[in-house]
Structure 1
Amino acid sequence: MRNIFLILTIAFLLSSCVGNDTVILKQSIGKINKVMVVAKISDWTGDVGQEVRNSFGELMVGLPQPEHFLSVSQVAPNGFSSMMKASRNILIITEAKNEAFTVKKNVFAQPQTIVYVQAKDDESIIKLFQKHKNEIKNIFIDSDIQFTQRIFSKDKIDNSQYKTLSNLGVTFTIPKKFKTVDDTGEFLWLRNHLMSGIAKTGSNNILVYSIPLSDETQISDNIVAVRDSIGKKFIPGSDPETMHMITEEAYTPFTFDAIIDGKKAYETRGKWEVKNDFMAGPFLNYTVIDKKNNRLIIFEGFTYAPSVSKRAFVFELEAIAKSMKIN
């Protein structure tokens, strides 16, 4: 009798799973800004692999030391085990008669992004990859941005506690590890002390403020002047009389078009330094055009982390910036 009951119970559970068409995926694994490439060894050591490494090997602008936007590792198709299939970002390159470029989510694990590139031979694969390389890179970066934002959302600050954010009518997904340095009602400065390795003396910083919107054609040209004026007013060095943050004079920042909260924006990456001092590091600035309120909303993140890689710190700031919502 007991065996019959057990069999009926198992049958019921199995039929329930099938009836609901429910598949429970495992949790994905993998570091931020890391892509696993599934390709034959001969492809990886040949022209196909060289093209992938060159495309993903673009250096992140504004960092003091050379660091790539994305790191890659390779596994052969016969070594693509169940553990490997749990990787969060995967690029699969195969030879097939039909040429195809496709993107799928949550195939073997979640959250997961898999990009498939297939063509009839190496030359065709390279052409297809070159055609879509910027799109592929952005797909993986955006995936990691969303992943990071989900992590931050589990333990985020209450935006309403900050006078500046309330007055400006903006919100961000900022983890609670960031603490207040200054909150005037017009200018917000948050800081996260870095507690690991050599960087334990360093910090990751967030600035939020706004300025009036005047000549829209001059916005990108004035970004450095605006940030330097803010540095002089709000970001002092060890001697406030002679030291304050400025844009590093020996390095010209790069500015790109961007979209934040559906609004036109400018993304600027460069290096900061403290005038008359030896402190320096990378910064990331988003200047967002808020036409409805005739103003520019400015988010800036800057990192001070001597002697360690800074890509991960700047990426965290990018994820926070791109969570901006303007009321």
Structure 2
Amino acid sequence: MNKLITLFALIFITISCKREGGKSDYVLPTSNGNTNKILVVTKGNDWEGKIGDEIRIVFGEHQVGLPQPETLLSVGQIDPVGFKGFMRNSKAVLIVRQSEKERIVVERNKYAQPQILIYATSKDKEGLVNLIRNRGKEIIKLFKDEDIKFTQNIFNKEKVDENQFKTIKSLDITLTIPKRFNVVEDTGDFLWLRQHLKSGIARGDGTNNILVYSYPLEDESKVADNITTMRDVIGKKYIPGSKEGMYMITEQAYTPFTFDAEIDGKKAYETRGKWEVKNDFMAGPFVNYTIIDKENKRVIVFEGFTYAPSVNKRDFIFELEAIAKSLKIK
């Protein structure tokens, strides 16, 4: 009997062990909320006033490269008195309030797991408005990076062995690819994977697609300027339409946006734009990561593109972004 009591005591002590931050790993509930969505905790009159207006302006900026206007993040609001119970378990929370110090503080896994809380504080309302205006992009990046990690953790639990793909092996890279993707083509030089979407109006016809390939690095200074040209060459060679003479190209009426990026610690370019099928009506958004691999004198390209008629596409493209950012060169 004494041994049994001792055993229960040891179990209780183990479960009650504190991790850094003072909370038990075993008692935190699972957080709730979707990716690309945040909960803003601020007073109702502030939300309806200048502070709320600035938040809506900054966080309501449209994601480039999408056919329909979609914001970078979806935002909801709750008064501080209501921030308790189930609401406190939200996955991504921005707490805006007055304090003696003007600062941005990040706290993780306080009420639930995984969770990120960002505190934006200043001594008065005008200071809060300026803080959101001047550091809003920094706050957005914090939330986005956390969502990338969250999504990658999910995909890691359902990933396939990438060594089954000839192109992945020949490029000597690793990539977290969820089981939901199936091979369309895998030549050893070019990989095309496709996921059939199962939700909303896109069900049946909608697809998420991954392309992976490389080409020799000749002049690094020209890589960014050649991204559109290279993807059009690949589209003509590998991505056919329903009839002869139809193939994927960069939409001619929409100029893609290219940004500096980094993948696996290497210089890269992130390009967002729209694709279309030449001489056809199919179209959609794409995100392209062009990675400069100096050591191996090559350029590696990961591209994700979506075909999902009549539905919003931000979250589909975001999943492809999360997969792209898992790429590592061996």
Per the normalisation by structure 2, the TM-score is 0.94
Q: How far off is 1:225 after superposition?
A: 0.2
Runs of at least 5 residues in structure 1 that lack an aligned partner in the other structure? none
What residue in structure 2 maps to residue 69 of structure 1?
A: 72
Contact 2:268–2:291 (8 Å) recurs in 1: yes
1:216 has 2:220 as partner: yes
Q: How far off is 1:12 after superposition?
A: 6.7
1:19/1:67 Cα in 2 relative to 1: closer, same or farther (>3 Å)? closer
Cα deviation 1:243-267 (Å, max 9, x = unaligned): 0000000000000000100100000
**Bigger mean CA deviation after superposition, 313-322 or 8-17:** 8-17
1:32 has 2:35 as partner: yes
1:234 has 2:209 as partner: no
Q: How far off is 1:84 after superposition?
A: 0.8
CA distance in 2, matches of 1:8, 1:295: 62
Q: How far off is 1:171 after superposition?
A: 1.3
1:115 has 2:113 as partner: no
What residue in structure 1 maps to residue 253 of structure 2?
A: 250
Structure 2 counterpart of 1:310, from 298, 308, 313: 313
Classify the secondary structure of the residue corresponding to 1:195: coil
CA distance in 2, matches of 1:19, 1:315: 37
Runs of at least 5 residues in structure 2 that lack an aligned partner in the other structure? none
1:7/1:44 Cα in 2 relative to 1: closer, same or farther (>3 Å)? farther
What stretches of structure 1 move > 4 A for 4+ residues in a row?
Answer: 4-22
Structure 2 counterpart of 1:143, from 122, 146, 149: 146
1:197 has 2:200 as partner: yes
Contact 2:65–2:256 (8 Å) recurs in 1: yes
Q: How far off is 1:196 after superposition?
A: 2.2
Classify the secondary structure of the residue corresponding to 1:283: strand
Q: How far off is 1:97 after superposition?
A: 2.0
Cα deviation 1:48-70 (Å, max 9, x = unaligned): 01111111111111111000110
Classify the secondary structure of the residue corresponding to 1:288: strand
Cα deviation 1:115-151 (Å, max 9, x = unaligned): 0011111101112222321110000011101000000
Structure 2 counterpart of 1:259, from 262, 268, 275: 262
Q: How far off is 1:81 after superposition?
A: 1.3
Superposed counterparts of 1:274-313, under 5 Å: 274-313=277-316
1:10/1:195 Cα in 2 relative to 1: closer, same or farther (>3 Å)? closer
Superposed counterparts of 1:17-96, under 5 Å: 20=18, 23=24, 24-96=27-99
1:129/1:242 Cα in 2 relative to 1: closer, same or farther (>3 Å)? same
Classify the secondary structure of the residue corresponding to 1:303: strand
1:19/1:265 Cα in 2 relative to 1: closer, same or farther (>3 Å)? closer
Per the normalisation by structure 1, the TM-score is 0.95
Q: How far off is 1:202 after superposition?
A: 1.4
Q: Which amino acid is 1:220 matched to?
A: A
Cα deviation 1:184-220 (Å, max 9, x = unaligned): 0000000001122321211100000001001111111
Q: Which amino acid is 1:323 matched to?
A: S
Contact 2:168–2:174 (8 Å) recurs in 1: yes
**Bigger mean CA deviation after superposition, 256-265 or 125-134:** 125-134
Q: How far off is 1:182 after superposition?
A: 0.1
What residue in structure 1 maps to residue 179 of structure 2?
A: 176
Percent identity (aligned) = 57
- RMSD of the TM alignment (CA)? 1.9
1:297/1:94 Cα in 2 relative to 1: closer, same or farther (>3 Å)? same
